[in-house]
Structure 1
Amino acid sequence: MLKRYSFLFILFTIFIIFGYENLNSFTKNFVINSFRTATKEFENEIDNKLKSTMAISLTLANDPHLYEIFKNKNSFLNKIKTLPSLYKKYTNYKNIWIQIFDKNGISIYRSWSKRKGDNLSNCRDDIKYLIENPKYLKTISICKYTIGLNAISPIYENKKLLGFVETISHFNSIEKNMKKLGYEIVILADKKYKNRFKYPISKKFIDGYYIANFNIDNNILNTIKNTDIEKIIKSRNFIKSEKYYIYSYPIKDFQKNIVGWAIFLKDKNDIKSALYQNSIFLRIFIFFAVITIFIALIIFIYSKDKERALKERNIYYFNILDSLQEIIILTDGKKIKYANRRFFDYFKDYKNIEDFTKKHKCICDFFVEEEGFLPSKINNKNWIDILIENINRPYKVKIAYNNKNFIFLVKASKIKENEYAVIFIDITKNYNYEQKLQEMAIKDKLTNLYNRTFFEKISKEQIKIAKEEKEDL
C-alpha cells in the first residue's frame, strides 16, 4: 500500500515545500534584492553628484580673482553672486549654493543667505577637520540650514592658505532619478543633529528627524509618520505599510559617521507586477498550481483502487514530471534513483538513468565548489543532509558539464528513510543578469574602472582579514 501511494507522497511533499514555504520566502527575497539594487543606484547617484559639485568648487578655487574677496575687494564677489541663478538657468544644477569662509572657519559669504561672520567649525566637524588638515573634500554634511552634498576646496595665494570655497548641492535631482526607477525617497538628517538646524530650509521634521526634501508628497509623509520612523530606521529588513514596502539606508559623511537616512518606499503593486514578470516566480507558481491539480486527480483516481488504473496513473504523472521545466530527481543521498526528462536535456550524453549511473552515482559529481554555492560535502556532511537540515534556507548550486556552467536553485524533501526528492530550478540567466548589475554598480560607466564603493568594500574586507590573520596589509 505504501508503495502504491509513494508517488502521491512525493507530489504532496513537493507541493508543501514549493507551494507553501518558498513562494513567501521568494517574495521576501525579491523585495530585499529590489531595495539592494536601489541602494546601489542611490550610492552611484551620490558619488556622481559629489564629483560634479566638486568640479564647480575646483573651478572657483583656482580662479585668481577669488583672492580679492579676502582683501575686502567685492568686485569678484558680485560676480559670484550671479552664479547660482546662471547655473539654474543654463545647467542641470538648479539649487547650487556657494559659501566662502576663511582659514579659521569664519563665514565670509553665503549665496543663499545674507548671514555671515559665524564660526562654522563650532557646528560642523568637516570644517573643523579642514582647518587642521587643508585639503579637497567631498562629503555629506549638516549645516544650520539643511543636509547636503558638500564639495570644499582650499584657496591659496603663493602657497599661503587664505580660506575655502564650498559648493553645496542637494538631493532633489537624486530624488527625481530614483522616482524614475519606481522608488519614492525621503532624505532625513539624523535626530541627534536636531538642535543644529537654526534656519531649516524645509521647516519639516518627523520625531526630531529633519526632512531635506524640498517638495514632499503629503501621502508619503503621512505613510512614514503612521508607520513609525524609529521602527523603519531600526529594522534590518523592509517594513510593510498599507500601500508600500519601506526600507531605510544610512547616509554617511567622509568619516563614515551616520549623519542621515534615506527612506525608500516601493509601491506594493509595482513589486507584484515585477514579481509576476519574473520567470522563476512564474515557474514556482505554475508548478504550485499544477501540483495542486495533480494531487486532486491522484486522490480521485486512487479511490478506485485498481491495479491497471494505478499503473496508468503512475505513467501519466511521470510524463507530467517529464514535461516540467525543472529537474526533479529521487535519491538516497548517495546514488540517484530517478530523474525526469528535463535532467537529460542538460546531461545529453546519457540516454537514461541506468546509463548515467554507470559512470556517476550522484549529480553532485558535477557540483562546482565555489563561494556562494553548495558543495557536495561540508565538514563530512552530505549535500542532501545539509539541504534537509536547513530546509527553509535557499541554496544555489553551480553545475559544470561539457564546458558549460549552470546555476540552479535547489530544494530537497525527505520522502521516507534514505529517500529524498530534489528539485533544481535553472536560474542561470537571472544569476548572470544580477552579476552584471552588481558589476555595473561597482564600475564607472565611462572608464570601466572600479569605483569608490567597490574600493571601500574590498578595503574593509582586506583589513578584516589582516586583523584576523595578524598580518600586514
Structure 2
Amino acid sequence: MKNSFRYLLILLIIVIPIFFTINYFLKVKLDSIMDNKHQALASSINSLIEQSIEDKSKATLNIALAISEFASKNTLFTQRDNKKFEVLKNISSEIKNNSNFKHLWIHIVDKNGVSRYRTWTEKVGDNVLSKRKELIDLIKNPKITNIISVGIFDITFKSIIPVYEEGEFQGFIETITKFNSIADKFQDKGVDFLLLVDKKYKDQIKKPFTKKFVKEYYVANIDAKDSALEIMDKNLDTLLNIKNYTINNDKFITLFKLYDFKKEHMAYIFTLQNYDKVFSKEVNNLENFIKIIGYLLILIIIAIFTIFYYFNKAKYTKKLEEEVNLRTKEIEQLNRRYKQIFDGSKVMKILVDPITKKIYDANKSTLNFYGYTKEQITSFTTLDFNANRTDADDFIFEKILKNEEYRFVIKHKLSNEEIKDIEIHASLVNIGDKEYIYCILRDITKDLKLQNEYEEKQKLFYQQAKMASMGEMLENIAHQWRQPLSTITTAASGMKVQKEFGILDDKFFNDSIDTIVKSSNFLSQTIEDFRNFFKRSNAKETFTLEEAVEDLLKIISIKLKTNNIDFNLINDNSYKIRGYKNEFIQVFLNFINNSIDAFTLLDAEKKIILVESTITSNAILITFQDSAGGIGKDTIEKVFEPYFTTKYKSQGTGIGLYMSEEIITKHFKGKLNVKNSNFTWNSKEYFGAKFIIELPLN
C-alpha cells in the first residue's frame, strides 16, 4: 500500500509541472505559428499589390506606345488636324467601354511644354512645365517614362512616350489611368482596399476626384467602404506605423507603402479582411490539436509509470524465456523463407560483400547460367566475371554504396568463355548485423542485338528520308532559278541581236546589264538560303513561328506562286519555340509538297494554304490546313506510317509525313495529328486536310 502511494505521489509531482510546462510551450508555439501565418498572408497580399501595380503600369505603357505610334504616323504634332485629335478621344472611349480601364485620359504636350490636346477638357495652349517638373528633364533628354504621381485631381499612373516625326522630336503622348481597377480586383476577392495619399499632397490636390479624405489624407479609390474609412479615422496614427500587419476591431489589416519616381514616400495602401473569416478555422484546429497533444503526453507519462510500476512488481522471467524461444523460431522461419525466395526464384540473384567484393551467395538460376558450383562462385569476386576490366568498376561500387546508382550493364564472361550482356539492379540490404549488396541479374544480350538492328534500320531510313528531302529541295531550287535564268537569257540575247544590227545604245546596254546583275544576285541569294537550310546544327535554337515561315518561304515561294497557291499565316502571339529550326521547317515543307500534289488532282478555282497558331493553358497549337479536298477515309489513319503513299512510286516515297511525326514527337516532345476539316477564308468556305501540331509550353 505504501509503495502504491509513493508511486502515485511521484507521478503527481512529475505530471503536474510537466502539464503546465507543455501547455505553456504549446501556447507559445501556437502564437508563433499564427504569427507566421499572419506574416505569410501579409507578404502574399503585398506581393499581389506590387504585381497588380506593375501590371497596371505596363498596361498603361502599352496603350501609350500604341497611341504614340498613331500620333507619329498621322503627324499630329506638325499638322495638328482636329479630326485626328478626335480619333484619340474615340480611342479613349473605346478602351473605357471595352476594358477595365474605366478612367483613361490622353494628353498631348509639344516639345516646348505646351498642352496641345486633352481628352478630358477642351483647354489647350497652356504651358504645363511649371506644374509638371518631370517634363523639363524629359524635354532635354526625351525617353519613355513610366511613373506614378500625384496631380491636382488624383494619384495616377502616367506613361510618357516621346514622339518623333521624320526623325525630329515633336513632343510627348501621355496616358493617365487610376488605381480603381486594382481596388476592384481586391474587392472582388472580398478584401477591402483603401488608398490614402500622403498628407503632404493635400494642398496639391486642388480638385479631388473622389472628394473623400481621412483627416488630411486623400482617399483615392472611388468605392472605398465607409466601414473601412471609419476604422482608418479612429486609428490612423497607429495604422500608419504598422510594419506588415495588425489586427484591429476583428479586422486583419495590412499596409503597403507606395513611393514616387524619386523614391520619396507618396501613399499608403491598406487592405482589410474579417479576421474570423480568414483564420478562425485554423485557430480552432491548432488549439484542438494542442489540447490533444497535451492530453496524449499526460496519458503517455501515466502509462509509462504504470508499466514501470507493474514491471517491477511482477515476475516475468518465465514469460520472457518463452518470448525469446518464440522469437528464435520466427527468425529460423524467416531464414528458411529467405532461402525459398532466394534459391527458388527463376530470376538470377546474388549477394555481394561490399568490402571484399566477393560473392557471398548465389541462387540456382545464377549457378546454371554461369556454369559454376556454389563453392566455385563464392570464391570469386564480381570483378572476376567482367569481360572488360576498367577503373569504372570501383566507381560503380562507390555509387551503389552511396545509393546513387542502382542499375548498370556489364559484359560478363561465363565458364564456357561466352560473353553475355548483363543488366544488374543493385541495392543495399542488411542481413543480421551485416550489410550486403543485393543484385538481380538479367541477360539482355538478345535485347541489345535487336536494339542495334533496329537502330541500323532507323539510320537507313533516315538516310532515305534525307535523300528524298534532297530531291525535293533540288526541285525547289529549279523553281526558284527558272525565272531569273530566263531573264538573264532574254537580256543577253537582246544585247547580242542589237549589237549585230548596230543599234545597241548605252541605255539598253546598261539596263540589260542591271537586269543580269539583279537576277544573278537573286540566284546567289537563293544558293545562300538553301545552304542555310541544309546546314546541320547540333545546338538547339530559339525561334518564333514567323521566323520559321519566313525561312520556309525563301525556299518554296516560287513553287507556291507557280502553282497559284495562296499561302497565309495567322499568328497573334510571339511565343518562342526551342529546337532545331531547319527540322521544323522540313515538317512544313512536307505538308506543302503533299498539298501541291493534292492540288494537281483537284480542279480548284482558289488554292488556299492557311497556317494558324493559338496558345492554350499548357501548349501551343499550330495548324496547317489546305483546300485540296482532304485525305481519303481509308488512308487518313495510315499517313504517318513509314513507306505508305497514295502517289505513284515515281512520285512519292511514303516517308515525308512519317519523318514529320518523328521530328515533332521526338525532337520537339510534341504531338502531330491529322483530320479533314472545313474552314472559312475571306468569307468563303473551303475543305481539306488539317495537320495539328501540339508543342508543350515548357
Equivalent in the alignment of 1:252: 259
Aligned to 1:52: 59
- Contact persistence 1:69–1:76 (CA under 8 A): no
In the alignment, structure 1 residue 239 sits paired with structure 2 residue 246: yes
Q: TM-score, structure 2 length as denominator?
A: 0.40
SS in 2 for 1:161: strand
1:169 aligns with 2:177: yes
- RCO (CA 8 Å, sep 6+): is it higher in 1 or 2? 1
In structure 2, the CA distance between the partners of 1:245 and 1:208, relative to structure 1 (3 Å rule), is same
Query: For 1:141-191, what per-residue CA distance to the aligned partner results, in whole angstroms no more than 9, with x for missing partners?
Result: 111111111111011112222111111111111112122334211112211
Could you say which residue in structure 2 is the equivalent of 1:341? none
8 Å CA contact 1:69–1:77 kept in 2: the answer is no
- C-alpha distance in structure 1 between counterparts of 2:127 and 2:46, whole Å: 35
Q: Distance in 2 between matches of 1:221 and 1:66?
A: 47
What is the CA–CA distance in structure 2 between the aligned matches of 1:92 and 1:43, rounded to whole Å?
A: 18
Structure 1 residues 243 and 157, CA gap change in structure 2 (3 angstroms): same
Give deviations 1:256-304, integer Å, cap 9, x for gaps.
Answer: 332211111122122224635xxxx84x434421244357769999999
What TM-score, normalized by structure 1, do the two folds share?
0.58
Deviation at 1:13, TM superposition (A): 2.5
Picking from 24, 34, 42, the partner of 1:16 is 24
State the match for 1:371 in structure 2: none
- Could you say which residue in structure 1 is the equivalent of 2:609? none
Equivalence map 1:77-88=2 (5 Å)? 77-88=85-96
Equivalent pair of 1:301/1:309 in contact (CA under 8 Å) = no
C-alpha displacement of 1:201: 0.9
Unpaired segments ≥5 residues, structure 1: 313-400, 404-445, 448-473
Q: Percent identity?
A: 28
In 1, distance between residues paired with 2:205 and 2:305?
Answer: 75
Query: 1:28/1:129 Cα in 2 relative to 1: closer, same or farther (>3 Å)?
Result: farther
Residue 114 (structure 2) pairs with residue 112 (structure 1): no
**C-alpha separation between the residues in 2 aligned to 1:67 and 1:37?**
46
Question: Mapping of 1:147-296 within 5 angstroms?
Answer: 147-228=155-236, 230-273=237-280, 275-276=282-283, 282=285, 284-294=286-296
Distance in 1, Cα, partners of 2:194 & 2:74: 36
CA distance in 2, matches of 1:57, 1:129: 19
Which structure has the greater CA radius of gyration?
Answer: 2
Cα distance in 2 for residues equivalent to 1:402 and 1:226: 64
- Cα deviation for residue 79 of structure 1 reads 1.4
Q: Deviations over 1:310-350 (max 9, x none)?
A: 999xxxxxxxxxxxxxxxxxxxxxxxxxxxxxxxxxxxxxx
1:67 maps to 75
Q: Secondary structure at the match of 2:196?
A: strand
| Structure 2 spans left out of the alignment, 5+ residues | 1-6, 315-401, 405-574, 577-698
Pairwise CA RMSD: 3.5
Q: Tell me the alpha carbon deviations over residues 190-231 of structure 1, each in whole angstroms, 9 at most, x when there is no partner.
A: 111111112211111222211111222211211211222x32
- Asked if the contact 1:30/1:275 (under 8 Å) is kept, the reply is no
Paired residue for 1:98? 106
Contact 1:147 / 1:189 at 8 angstroms: preserved in 2? yes
Question: Tell me, what secondary structure is at the counterpart of 1:108?
Answer: strand
Give the aligned length: 310
* Residues 393-404 of structure 1: pairs in structure 2 closer than 5 A: none
Match of 1:25 in 2: 32
Q: Write the distance in 1 (CA, Å) between the matches of 2:291 and 2:78.
A: 76
- Preserved contact between residue 126 and residue 141 of structure 1 (Cα < 8 Å): no
Choose the corresponding residue for 2:147, options 117, 139, 142: 139
Distance 1:402 1:21 in 2: 41
Cα 1:311–1:188, aligned 2, differ >3 Å: closer, same or farther?
A: farther
Give, in whole Å, the separation in 2 of the partners of 1:402 and 1:115.
Answer: 78
The structure-2 alpha-carbon separation of the partners of 1:311 and 1:273, relative to structure 1 and needing over 3 Å to count, comes to farther
Indicate how the Cα distance of structure 1 residues 301 and 126 shifts in structure 2: closer, same or farther if over 3 A, else same.
same
- Work out whether residues 60 and 66 of structure 1, in 8 Å CA contact, stay in contact via their aligned partners in 2: no
Equivalent positions of 1:334-345 (< 5 A) are none
CA distance in 2, matches of 1:165, 1:155: 7
Name the SS of the counterpart of 1:290 in structure 2.
helix
Change beyond 3 A, Cα 1:147–1:73: same
- Cα distance change, pair 274–45 in 1 and its aligned pair in 2 (3 A): farther
